[in-house]
């Protein structure tokens, strides 16, 4: 699905900053696409954009109201419906990454149809996909993989795309999750695709391209995560990565949602992902690490990354602390 920008980011009545993490991600990576933020009374979150009324945002050219709230259960709040309807009246489309579908709200659905507005429930694909073939196609692809889920794969992929473009390289971020889709303006929510078609959906997402063009593909979970490994495997097979970056949080005590399962060691994760990737690209390899070292002080973080880099003879970076330049050096 494709989403029109500029955006107005709707923070609703978010009770804390974490509840507006979707809007926060969009504001961080696509600030130039945003005309401002709209908050209801009681909203505590702030993503650093100008506060706009709906009328002001429409006058500034906003084309889509982005529901940037991630509440418990992913439901559309009754308190938001008035805002959504008003945005439609003012000429805006609506996009949401929540589990609940905006298009299932009768009043919103009917008004959007009457006015010719578009509703994008990005977590729910609107098209079907072919089964993956594994056939080699031109162009280059990098996939962010990880030792666990929710470990920085989207952030890493976006940082790499930004650095590559700054150096004049051909690169496009390919979104596979709801927040990534809102940041990119299009993409496929891979975890909502029927399992038989995941690899085919990824082949569709990053098709044949120029020989020197890089698709930087947002990863999901880990092939070694018992709950979500199937999604990762489809991503690995469909993207046919020439390069992979292993994302890791060194101080994480256990795999997300599995308190009795430790995060696998780096070497085991590299071997598992390379083995899986070489089914569709025999040359696939991990070329570096992206660590989230936020739990460490500066000296401790730099020392750990140097030790890992020396041990594996490949760069180890923190996209926030150090940037991703050493990884892009290899891709170049």
Q: Which domain holds residue 102?
A: 7-121
> Do 217 and 295 sit in the same domain of this protein?
yes
> Do 201 and 316 sit in the same domain of this protein?
yes
Residue 132 lies in a domain: no
CATH number of the domain where residue 43 is located: 3.40.50.720
Mean pLDDT for the stretch of residues 260-289 = 98
Q: In this model, does residue 20 exceed pLDDT 80?
A: yes
Q: In this model, does residue 237 exceed pLDDT 70?
A: yes
Adjacent-strand bridge partners of 143: 217, 244
- For 145, 147, 164, 276, 285, the CA distances from 272, given in Å and listed in that order, are 11, 10, 27, 6, 11
> Do 195 and 319 sit in the same domain of this protein?
yes
Burial of 299 (0-12, 13-18, 19+ CB in 10 A): exposed
**How many domains would you assign to the chain?**
2
Residue 129 lies in a domain: no
Task: Retrieve residue 318's tokens.
Answer: 């923190």
Q: How far apart are the first and last CA of the chain?
A: 30
Q: What is the pLDDT of residues 46-99, one digit of tens each?
A: 999 999 999 999 999 999 999 999 876 788 999 999 999 999 999 999 999 998
- At 192 the three-state DSSP class reads helix
> Do 87 and 227 sit in the same domain of this protein?
no
Residue 148 lies in a domain: yes
Band of residue 201 on the pLDDT scale cut at 50, 70, 90: very high
Mean pLDDT for the stretch of residues 26-33 = 96
Residue 126 lies in a domain: no
Residue 1 lies in a domain: no
Residue 200 lies in a domain: yes
Residue 21 lies in a domain: yes
φ and ψ at 242, to 5 degrees?
A: -80, -30
Would you state the pLDDT for residue 71? 76
> Do 168 and 66 sit in the same domain of this protein?
no
Residue 325 lies in a domain: yes
Would you state the pLDDT for residue 18? 86
Q: In this model, does residue 294 exceed pLDDT 80?
A: yes
């Amino acid at each position: 699905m494709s989403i029109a920008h500029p955006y107005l980011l709707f923070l609703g009545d978010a009770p804390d900053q974490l509840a507006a993490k979707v809007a926060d991600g969009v504001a961080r990576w696509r600030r130039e696409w945003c005309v401002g933020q709209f908050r209801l009374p009681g909203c505590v979150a702030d993503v650093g954009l100008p506060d706009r009324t709906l009328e002001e945002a429409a006058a500034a050219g906003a084309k889509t109201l982005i529901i940037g709230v991630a509440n418990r259960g992913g439901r559309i709040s009754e308190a938001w419906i008035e805002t959504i309807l008003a945005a439609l009246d003012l000429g805006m489309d609506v996009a949401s990454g929540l589990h609940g579908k905006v298009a299932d709200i009768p009043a919103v659905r009917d008004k959007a149809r009457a006015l010719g507005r578009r509703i994008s429930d990005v977590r729910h694909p609107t098209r079907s996909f072919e089964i993956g073939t594994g056939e080699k196609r031109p162009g280059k692809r990098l996939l962010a993989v990880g030792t666990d889920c929710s470990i920085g794969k989207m952030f890493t992929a976006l940082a790499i795309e930004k650095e590559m473009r700054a150096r004049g390289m051909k690169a496009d971020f390919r979104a596979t999750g709801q927040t990534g889709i809102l940041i990119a303006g299009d993409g496929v929510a891979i975890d909502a695709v029927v399992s038989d078609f995941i690899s085919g959906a990824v082949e569709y997402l990053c098709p044949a391209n120029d020989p020197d063009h890089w698709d930087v593909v947002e990863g999901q979970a880990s092939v070694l995560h018992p709950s979500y490994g199937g999604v990762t495997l489809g991503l690995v097979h469909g993207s046919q990565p020439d390069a992979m970056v292993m994302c890791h949080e060194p101080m994480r005590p256990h795999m997300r949602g599995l308190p009795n399962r430790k995060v696998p060691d780096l070497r085991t994760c590299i071997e598992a992902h390379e083995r899986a990737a070489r089914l569709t690209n025999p040359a696939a390899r991990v070329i570096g690490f992206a660590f989230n070292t936020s739990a460490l002080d500066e000296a401790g973080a730099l020392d750990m990354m140097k030790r890992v880099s020396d041990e594996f003879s490949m760069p180890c970076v923190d996209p926030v602390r150090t940037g991703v330049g050493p990884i892009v050096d290899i891709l170049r």
